[in-house]
């Protein structure tokens, strides 16, 4: 992706492939440095979220749900390597969208992102998935740890790549799958991450992206196929999400 010209995308990354959106709605991305359009992408609808959540559930119930920590660590390292190759494109995309100084974007939105992925890969290698603990009733308790399920991720505009990876990396590490809804103001970077994930061989359905606004985020949070919500954003939005998750007993 070059930001020397207006960037146009016509698909979402769902179930390991680039798929057509369910509606004709589009998001116009305005460059913070110029006030002019620097690209446009499809705007997701409820049907797109349904499709993404369904793909995530299918992956979780399939082979991905049976992966070992070592296998997931290898996936994380491959994603890190694929993103590292795209570091310049990522940092320039973020800077153009939200006005972040390029030097800061290079440090945080590409370099730190790779470090986070490799950090979680290291943690995953040492993950204990089964242990015995003493019980106050006088016998041992067997503890088995497994994925919590399908995660819905809401990502803000200010540090879009870092805050995406801080949701993606723990999800992969623990064997979960994830559907991400990036901010409509910073959506070009998620296409680069999706491209890297595809090159890295992340199994179909493990990571899915559907860009959209607040209404779409609310639909994702309340979706019956979501088991956990990972949110970064305003206090006001956090209160609303907390209310929904509280009613649903959803972490």
The pLDDT value recorded for residue 73 is: 98
Beta bridge partners, 42, equal: 26
How many angstroms separate the CA atoms of 78 and 58, rounded? 22
The pLDDT value recorded for residue 66 is: 94
Strands across the sheet with 7-8, in order?
Answer: 7-8, 37-42, 26-30
The pLDDT value recorded for residue 4 is: 54
Output the CA torsion 216→220→224→227 (10° steps). 180
Region of 140 (left: φ > 0; alpha: ψ -120 to 50; beta: rest) is beta
What mean pLDDT value characterizes the chain? 96
The pLDDT value recorded for residue 5 is: 66
| Enclosing H/E stretch for 48 | helix 46-61
Q: Supply 180's token pair.
A: 């991400």
Closest-CA residue to 53 (of 199, 61, 11, 215):
61
The pLDDT value recorded for residue 125 is: 94
Backbone angles phi, psi at 6, to 5 degrees: -65, 130
Q: Supply 18's token pair.
A: 């680039």
Residues of the chain with pLDDT under 50: 1-2
Q: What is the pairing mode between strands 207-209 and 177-181?
A: parallel
Output the CA torsion 186→192→198→203 (10° steps). -30
The pLDDT value recorded for residue 226 is: 98
The pLDDT value recorded for residue 3 is: 54
The pLDDT value recorded for residue 1 is: 42
User: DSSP character for 135?
Assistant: -
């Amino acid at each position: 992706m070059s930001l020397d010209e207006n960037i146009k995308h016509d698909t979402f990354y769902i179930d390991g492939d680039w798929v057509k959106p369910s509606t004709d709605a589009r998001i116009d991305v305005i460059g913070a440095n110029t006030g002019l359009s620097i690209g446009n992408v499809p705007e997701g609808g409820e049907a797109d979220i349904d499709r993404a959540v369904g793909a995530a559930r299918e992956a979780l119930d399939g082979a991905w749900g049976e992966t070992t920590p070592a296998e997931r660590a290898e996936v994380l390292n491959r994603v890190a390597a694929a993103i590292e190759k795209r570091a310049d494109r990522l940092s320039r995309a973020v800077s153009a969208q939200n006005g972040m100084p390029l030097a800061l974007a290079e440090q945080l939105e590409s370099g730190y992102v790779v470090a986070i992925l490799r950090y979680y890969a290291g943690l995953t290698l040492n993950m204990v998935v089964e242990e015995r603990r003493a019980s106050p009733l006088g016998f041992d308790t067997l503890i088995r740890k497994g994925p919590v399920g399908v995660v819905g991720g809401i990502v803000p505009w200010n540090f879009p790549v870092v805050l995406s990876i801080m949701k993606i990396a723990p999800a992969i590490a623990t064997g979960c799958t994830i559907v991400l809804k990036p901010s409509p103001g910073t959506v070009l970077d998620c296409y680069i991450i999706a491209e890297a994930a595809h090159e890295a061989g992340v199994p179909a359905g493990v990571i899915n992206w559907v860009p959209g606004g607040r209404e779409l985020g609310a639909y994702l949070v309340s979706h019956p196929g979501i088991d956990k919500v990972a949110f970064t954003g305003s206090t006001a939005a956090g209160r609303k999400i907390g209310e929904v998750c509280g009613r649903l007993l959803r972490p």
